[in-house]
Structure 1
Amino acid sequence: MSESAIPSKRPNPLRVLQLTDPHLMADPFGELLGIRTRESLDAVIDQVRGEGRVPDLIIASGDIAQDGSQTAYRAFRDRVSVFDCPVIWFAGNHDDVPSMNAVIEETESARRRVLTGGWQFIGLDSSVPGHVHGALSDDELQYLRDCLAECPKTPTLVALHHHPVDVGCDWMAAIGVRNGAELMDLLRRSPQVKIVLWGHIHQVFDRVEGHLRMLASPSTCIQFAPDSSDFAVDQRSPGYRWLELGPDGDVDTWVRRVDHFEMTVELDSDGY
């Protein structure tokens, strides 16, 4: 389903909410390219709660903090605590893994794998300290292989921060998963994997390849312009993604925007 599609009427689906790239800061009024990131996240959460659709799981797919501060991670933790469901966190390129782990250790958010509703959810750490691009370590890939081997018949969603395939923006080609081809080869050989989900690109992406649905979603703050050769900011509103999953592996998904959120984006920026 596309960004403008109507949600399905599937009876009793497993509902997953993706929130990505909030870029929170220790400063409650911290801005990213003209947007106060806590306020935009608050607007997203308020709209989700107003929909009347309750998530069974939330996937927070990286760049939780812009400044890597524990204060920012606590702010995110407190905001998503309004939902009575597990929340999976993993790091993006702006995150500080030790600071993030200090906030979520010994909580449900530290889980990297969830089995629920007939589905398996696996979160991967594609962050590379000190770099914008991503990569999956040998240990991370082995962890994925082990999870897939344990549940060969269970429909599976694999989530990470960086994009493992080309997304049509030339400037992003160098900042995806450097060994994305290795990851995708593994997933293509794993028919139980139905969805690959990521953040990082601050825009909607939806492509089907064989048994794989490849998805990315808008940020809860600023957006990047699709199909851009150089860094370019988009005027579209903050957003989030819903997924409704059936026990047979069927997938319905759509994106929502918070169009009522007032913002003035720095469109002439050459980076962030």
Structure 2
Amino acid sequence: MDASAEPLHVLQITDPHLMGDPEGRLLGINTRQTLEAVLAHVRVHYGQPDLVLATGDISQDGSDDSYHYFREQTAFFEGPVFWAAGNHDVLPAMERVIRGTRSAERRYRSHGWQLICLDSSVPDQVHGCLGEKELAYLDACLKEYPGDHALVCLHHHPIRIGAEWMNAIGLQDHDALFEVLARHEQVRGLLWGHIHQSLDQETGGWRMLASPSTCVQFLPDSESFAVDTVPPGYRWLALYPDGRIRTGVERIADDDYGLELDSVGY
């Protein structure tokens, strides 16, 4: 087999919603327990990726302890683990923990691909916004390597989804994002978290990918907040030098993690 045709192997872990308290629960679920179960599944069934993308809401309470715990739990990965901020994250605390490590990096190039991580978080807000600075950074990255296929990663969803209640808390400046992307023909897809459910579709010629949380799942196509009973999981991606994306979602065993089915919000 031609080694040059081997794909870049990427793992996405998103929305663990960890807390400083080891017994902390979100909608009845101990989020540390489910993260550990997801990572155990990765060890047994997936192995070592080239890169891990943690696409936000790493912490629920913004505590240093929650970020240190996530860093410790993901230390077995041999490749870098990139962190992106979500609406529940406290950026100063997150940056303190990863300062000087590869987790603070935002761009990865290999196998003919460029992966770019953007910060869509807005302090004290649930919705996302990139703003001029992040959009300029994205534009500069894409201009610098026009020959690389590109995957753009962030926390908030840039398109409308079936869960109507979530559309008000998605990326507010999505039109500006798509204007930048439209200027660069090498963009192959976008990858995000936030919506706590799997999504794989094509929009505007780009692959649109979202992934399950490592804890609570949200019910697709719901008008108002509703949880789903499917178990936590993660997404894997194989990015080929010719621009193809092969991807799938894996889930852990359907055990009783204490989910509160009558939850009306979080």
Class of the TM-score when normalised by the shorter of the 2 chains: over 0.9
CA–CA separation in structure 2 for the residues paired with 1:209 and 1:34: 35
| 8 A contact 1:57–1:86 mirrored in 2 | yes
Q: Which residue type is aligned with residue 105 of structure 1? A: R
| 8 A contact 1:41–1:220 mirrored in 2 | yes
Q: Which residue type is aligned with residue 184 of structure 1? A: F
CA 83–271 in structure 1, closer or farther in 2 if over 3 Å, else same: same
CA–CA separation in structure 2 for the residues paired with 1:210 and 1:174: 21
Report runs of 4+ in structure 1 exceeding 3 Å deviation: none
Match status 1:182 vs 2:191: no
Look up the match of 1:145. 139
CA–CA separation in structure 2 for the residues paired with 1:261 and 1:111: 35
2:111 aligned to which of 108, 112, 117: 117
CA 53–13 in structure 1, closer or farther in 2 if over 3 Å, else same: farther
Look up the match of 1:202. 196
Please state how far the C-alpha of 1:117 moved relative to its aligned partner: 2.2
CA RMSD of aligned residues (A): 1.3
The answer for unaligned runs of 5 or more in structure 1 is 1-9
Deviations 1:28-75 (A, max 9, x none): 111100110011000000000001432000000000000000100000
Match status 1:243 vs 2:237: yes
The answer for unaligned runs of 5 or more in structure 2 is none
Match status 1:135 vs 2:155: no
CA–CA separation in structure 1 for the residues paired with 2:127 and 2:254: 33
Look up the match of 2:60. 66
Please state how far the C-alpha of 1:111 moved relative to its aligned partner: 0.1
2:34 aligned to which of 21, 30, 40: 40
Look up the match of 2:259. 265
Moved more, 194-203 or 209-218: 209-218
Match status 1:255 vs 2:221: no
CA–CA separation in structure 2 for the residues paired with 1:267 and 1:184: 36
CA–CA separation in structure 2 for the residues paired with 1:133 and 1:259: 31
Look up the match of 1:3. none
Deviations 1:115-150 (A, max 9, x none): 122210100000000000000111110000000000
CA–CA separation in structure 1 for the residues paired with 2:241 and 2:205: 15
Deviations 1:137-168 (A, max 9, x none): 11110000000000111011100000011011
Moved more, 41-50 or 210-219: 210-219
Q: Which residue type is aligned with residue 256 of structure 1? A: E
1:25 aligned to which of 15, 19, 23: 19
| 8 A contact 1:113–1:122 mirrored in 2 | yes
| 8 A contact 1:40–1:261 mirrored in 2 | no
State percent identity of aligned pairs.
54
Count of residue correspondences: 263
TM-score (norm: length of structure 2): 0.96
Residue aligned with 1:41, SS: helix
| 8 A contact 2:6–2:241 mirrored in 1 | no
CA–CA separation in structure 1 for the residues paired with 2:9 and 2:135: 27
Q: Which residue type is aligned with residue 110 of structure 2? A: T
Residue aligned with 1:83, SS: coil
Alignment of 1:215-226 (within 5 A): 215-226=209-220
Match status 1:163 vs 2:157: yes
Look up the match of 1:89. 83
Residue aligned with 2:95, SS: helix
CA 22–54 in structure 1, closer or farther in 2 if over 3 Å, else same: same
Please state how far the C-alpha of 1:189 moved relative to its aligned partner: 3.1
CA–CA separation in structure 1 for the residues paired with 2:141 and 2:68: 29
